Every structure is written in structure tokens, then in C-alpha cells.
Amino acid sequence: MRSIGEMARESGLGVSALRFYDRAGVLVPAWVDPVSGYRWYGAEQLDESRLLARLRRAGMPLADIRLVLAGWSGTDTDLVLKLLDAHLRRLELGLSDARTESSTIRALLDHRENPMNSARTTTVRPAVSAPELAAALDAVRFAASADPELPVLGGVLFDIEGEDLRVVATDRYRMAMARVGTTGHAGPRVQAVVPSPLADAMRALLSDGASAELTVDGDRVALETGGRQVAGQCLDHGFPDYRRLVRLPAGRRVPVDVPAFREAVESGPVRASEVREQDGVSCDLTVLKVTADGTVAVCEDGDDDQDRVALNREFLLHALAAGAPDRLVLEFGAPTAPLAIRRPDTEETFSLLMPVRLEN
């Protein structure tokens, strides 16, 4: 007999997944301790659990998985093959449909003007506070993408409009924004996507000096402070309309003490997950909920609170480190809506984390 922990390690399925498949009647333990409720699995169930893990990675629906396992344990291999073939056909049809729609969207984009290129036709030289711009870069840099397949997100957006400079970064699964006041620019809105290495060089330069001058001239961007300058090419890509992404319905705001909350996340229960929504990369999940007394708690394994929110644990810790050293406000919307992490003293600096769908 194998314990549920041993079964999880040997099968590739997490403990929470094994509990889910038990409740769903897909992989029922050979014996459950009537006192403790602890699950035990027979040796013959290891092959079934490994098969289940493969079917799960292949994205097969639960109803079909149930039939495949039933056929696998019996003699009806023909049924298993037919179910596998049917699932592959569905995936192929879905891929074909996705390619067709993608081609249509590309054709539509060919007929549209790139707003980012048109927004960089003017040279602007706003002055900014060096410490404020440094703090803004610190608040958003963690969210910039490192995915070579998406170079458009591999930088930090500098969005200059009137006396505001908004600094924004996103990798699709998290986004961060900070505002810095400027002087010396009263013209039209100008945007530049600064490559991450250049943004890092700017941040290093901002360690000295009280003020800085930012220059956007066509496809080049430069920052000068204390008699020193860094400059380079902007990314030749448009940036997502971040203003649309931050229009979220108001949620339930809960203040947290950052050191105590960070400790709770670091030492609290963790779920292992195969995350298809986040590039298919496995990650540790932290599951949060708002308790009856209005505080944020890390859910214990097995907590099925309907409003719980699962987050990439590493992303959550990065956002806390970038947010503020003492107090932050967590804003909970629907379980499928982004979690907002805000500073209590301003609405202009915050980050958003996309939740991860729980399978149970």
C-alpha cells in the first residue's frame, strides 16, 4: 500500500489532485482509514495514476478520462484507442479553428495603423525626480516578460502624457504600473517601450542625483542625470492598452502587514500545479481567502472556500517585495479576476496578478 504522499511523488499528480479524483470517482483509494480519513492506494493503482497524469497533461476531459481508466483496467483496449483518437481529432479541429481565426485577425491588423509608431513622431524632454523614477522602476520591473517569443513585452513602457509619466510592465500573468510627475512637457501623448536591459541601466544611473531628464526622440530613448547618460533603441513594437486592462470592478479591499503576510505565504501550505494557463509551466500555488473577520489567510490544503483565489506563489512574493515594505492593500474581486496589490497612500502605483484556475 502507498500513502497519498508517496502516490503523489511516484505518479506526478499532486496530493490535491489525487483528492479531487477520489471525490470525482475517477481514482478511488484502495482503503481509507475510518478514523483519520487518510487515503491508501494499492500497488496496482500506480500505473493507473501515471496514466491519469498523462491524460491530464494531454487535456482530456474528465468524462473521457473516466472511461479510459475503466477500459484500461479491463480488456476493452479498443475503447481506449477510440477515445484517444477522438480526443486528438478534437484537438486538431480546435487547432485548425485557432489558425483560421489567427489568420483573420492578422489580416485585420494589416489594415490598421500602429498607434505606437505614430505616438513617437515628436521629440520630448520631460524632467523627472530621480528618486521617484527609481521607485517607479522598482515597483514594475518584476512584471516585465522574459519570454523570447513575446519580445513586445520584454521591456518597460514609458507613457508620457501632460505632466504624468506612467511606467508599466506586464508578462500577461502579472502587470505593474507606477506614476511619476514630470515637468517640461505639455504636448501630445508619447510612448516608448524601453528594453529591460536599458531600463535596468537607467535604474542604476538613478542612484545618483536628485533630478533627471528623459528624452524620447523617434525610436531612441535616453536618460541623463548628474552629468551621466544612458541611451538606446526603443523596442519596435506596440504595447498593450494597459488602461483597458486596469478597468476592474471594485473589489473587497483588505490591508495586510507586509512582513507578517510574506512570512505566512513563505511558510504556508503550497499546492503543486500543472499550469496550462501560464505557458504550461508547473509552479507552486498559494491559495488565499478573506476570512469572516476581514483578514487575508493562506488556505490549508483541502479548504474549498468558494471565493478562494489561487496565485503563482513566486509571482505573489515578487509583487509583495516590489509593493511596499510595511503595509499594502489586497483587493479581491471574483475568484477568476486579477488580484490587485495596492499601496495604501496612492492609487497610481499597483500590481495585478492573474489567478490560476484550480481543478478542485
Per-residue model confidence (pLDDT) at position 198: 96
Place of cell 523614477: 133
- pLDDT (mean) for 82-99: 90
pLDDT in tens, 256-315: 999 999 999 999 888 765 454 566 566 788 999 999 898 999 988 777 777 889 899 999
- pLDDT (mean) for 85-100: 90
Please tell me what DSSP assigns to residue 153.
G
Which band of pLDDT confidence, cut at 50, 70 and 90, is reported for residue 233? very high
In a domain, 35, yes or no: yes
The domain boundary, picked from 212, 243, 274, lies at 243
Q: How far apart are CA 246 and CA 140, in angstroms?
A: 14
In a domain, 103, yes or no: no
The domain boundary, picked from 213, 243, 273, lies at 243
Which band of pLDDT confidence, cut at 50, 70 and 90, is reported for residue 57? confident
User: Which residues are CB-neighbours of 57 under 8 A, at least 6 positions away?
Assistant: 274
Place of cell 480488456: 75
Q: How far apart are CA 153 and CA 93, in angstroms?
A: 30
In a domain, 207, yes or no: yes
φ and ψ of 84, to 5 deg:
-65, -45
Is pLDDT of 223 > 90? yes
Shared domain check, 126 and 237: yes
Per-residue model confidence (pLDDT) at position 279: 60
- pLDDT (mean) for 220-243: 89
- CA-to-CA separations, 276 to 21, 56, 58, 359, in angstroms, rounded: 18, 11, 10, 11
In a domain, 197, yes or no: yes
User: Which residues are CB-neighbours of 238 under 8 A, at least 6 positions away?
Assistant: 114, 115, 116, 117, 152
In a domain, 331, yes or no: yes
Is pLDDT of 135 > 60? yes
Q: How far apart are CA 190 and CA 86, in angstroms?
A: 51
Per-residue model confidence (pLDDT) at position 253: 93
Q: What percent of the chain has pLDDT over 70?
A: 92
Shared domain check, 239 and 122: yes
Pick from 186, 52, 61, 213: nearest CA to 127: 213
CATH of the domain at 307: 3.10.150.10
Count the helices and strands in the chain (H runs, E runs).
11, 19
Is pLDDT of 354 > 70? yes
> Across the chain, what does the average pLDDT equal?
87
Q: How far apart are CA 303 and CA 219, in angstroms?
A: 51
Find out whether 190 and 122 touch, Cβ atoms under 8 Å. Answer: yes
In a domain, 223, yes or no: yes
Shared domain check, 227 and 342: no
- pLDDT (mean) for 63-80: 81
Number of other residues whose CB lies within 10 A of the CB of residue 40: 16
Is pLDDT of 43 > 70? yes
Shared domain check, 235 and 282: no
Shared domain check, 239 and 296: no
Is pLDDT of 118 > 50? no
- pLDDT (mean) for 331-351: 89
Grid cell locating 304: 474549498
Grid cell locating 125: 524632454
Q: What percent of the chain has pLDDT over 90?
A: 44
R_g of the chain, CA atoms, integer Å: 25
Per-residue model confidence (pLDDT) at position 297: 92
Per-residue model confidence (pLDDT) at position 117: 45
Is pLDDT of 113 > 60? no
**Residue 55 vs residue 150, higher pLDDT:** 55
Q: How many domains does the chain have?
A: 3
**Residue 311 vs residue 347, higher pLDDT:** 311
Shared domain check, 29 and 9: yes
Find out whether 191 and 116 touch, Cβ atoms under 8 Å. Answer: yes
Q: How far apart are CA 160 and CA 185, in angstroms?
A: 8
Shared domain check, 212 and 286: no
Q: 296 lies in which domain range?
A: 248-353
Grid cell locating 14: 499532486
CATH of the domain at 39: 1.10.1660.10
Shared domain check, 131 and 39: no
The domain boundary, picked from 223, 243, 263, lies at 243
Shared domain check, 218 and 121: yes
Per-residue model confidence (pLDDT) at position 77: 78
Shared domain check, 16 and 62: yes
Is pLDDT of 78 > 60? yes
Is pLDDT of 247 > 90? no
Place of cell 514609458: 158
Shared domain check, 253 and 239: no
In a domain, 93, yes or no: no
pLDDT in tens, 156-202: 999 999 899 999 999 989 999 999 999 988 778 899 999 999 999 99
Shared domain check, 185 and 121: yes
In a domain, 360, yes or no: no
Side-chain half-sphere CA neighbours of 274 within 13 A: 13
